[in-house]
Amino acid sequence: MCTIPPAPPPPPPPVLSENRSPTKSPTTDSESPIYNYSDICKWASENPQLWEVCAKNSLCLHNAPFKYKYNQFESILQVGPTCGLVALSMLVKGEVAADEILNITKLEGYTHNGEMFSCKYMAKLAKKVFSLAELDNIKYSVQNGGLFSQETIEKLLEGAVLLVPYDADFNHSPCLRKGHTAHWALVCGVIVLEDPGDSYESKPDNVYVFSRHGKSRFLAAWDLEKLDKSNKNLWEFSPKKEADGLLYIFPEGGMGGENGLRNQFLIFEGL
C-alpha cells in the first residue's frame, strides 16, 4: 500500500498572456512566497496554496466559483506504507505524530507495516488519536457510499473534512486499478465551479475537492466524481505486493468487503 514513488513538483501555473501571467516576488521565507496575483484567480489571492492549485488546474481563473470551502492543513510526508496514518496525523495538525500513530496501530493489531485496509479500523484509531490530541466534540463516522452526493458536498461546504481511500495513479490522482495502488487522502475542501441548478450531481465535472496525502507537499485538486469512482473500485490487494514477502493485515472479507475500503470513507465535522 502506498509504494508508488513521489510525483515530481507540479509545473508552474498557466501563463495566459505576457501582461496577465502571475509571478512570484523575492522573499526570504521559501515556505511563504509572495505572489503578484494580477487578475488570475484573484478570488483566492489571500491563500497562496489555494491560489496555486486553482491556477495550476485552471479552476475559475477569471471568475470566482459558485461556492467553495478550504480548510488549511500542512503536509506531512509518509515513510513506508503509512499513507492513512499520515493523513490522520495531518487531520490533527501533527499533534499526534505519524510514528506514534503507527505504534498505536500495531498494538491494536490493525497493521504490521503501516497499511490500513479498513475504514472501520481507521475510525477506531481516530478515536484514540483525538483523545491523545485532546480534541473534543468532533463528530465522525464511516460512510458507506455517497462520496459524490448532494449531502457530502453540502457538508464539505460547511467545513467537514474527509479521509478517503482510493487508487492512486502515477501522479497520485484518482484512477481505477481495482485497489492495486490503494492510497489514503485527506480531503480538506471543495469547490463548485458554476451554479449547479437543482442538484450538484447533475454536473459531475463541476465539483472538485482539495486534498493532501503523504506522497506530496503540494495541495491537490481532483474531480470529485473521479475520486468517487476510484473509491468504489477498491476490490482487491495488489498481487505484486502480495508476493513481496511482507506480512499485511486485512479485515474480515478483505479490502473489497464490508469491513474494508471499497465504497467507504470517513467524515469529520466540528474540527
**From 2, 83, 175, 188, the catalytic residue:** 83
Q: How would DSSP label each residue in 108-134?
A: TTS-SSS----HHHHHHHHHHHHHHTT
Nearest to 194 by CA among 183, 181, 207: 207
Name the helix (H) or strand (E) containing 86: helix 83-91
Q: Which of 123, 138, 129, 74 is CA-nearest to residue 103?
A: 129
- Sorted by sequence, the CB contacts under 8 Å of residue 252 that are 6+ apart come out as 259
* Cell digits of residue 252: 474480515
- Residue pair 181/171 in contact (Cβ under 8 Å)? The answer is no
Closest to 221 measured CA to CA, from 94, 61, 98:
61
User: In the beta sheet, which residues pair with residue 69?
Assistant: 190
Long-range CB contacts for residues 141-145, cutoff 8 Å, separation at least 24? 141/266, 141/267, 142/264, 142/265, 142/266, 143/264, 143/265, 143/266, 143/267, 144/263, 144/264, 145/232, 145/263, 145/264
53: helix, coil or strand? Answer: helix
Examine the residue annotation and report whether 83 is marked as an active-site residue of this protein: yes
Asked whether the beta carbons of 55 and 33 are under 8 A apart, the reply is no
User: What amino acid positions are annotated as catalytic residues?
Assistant: 83
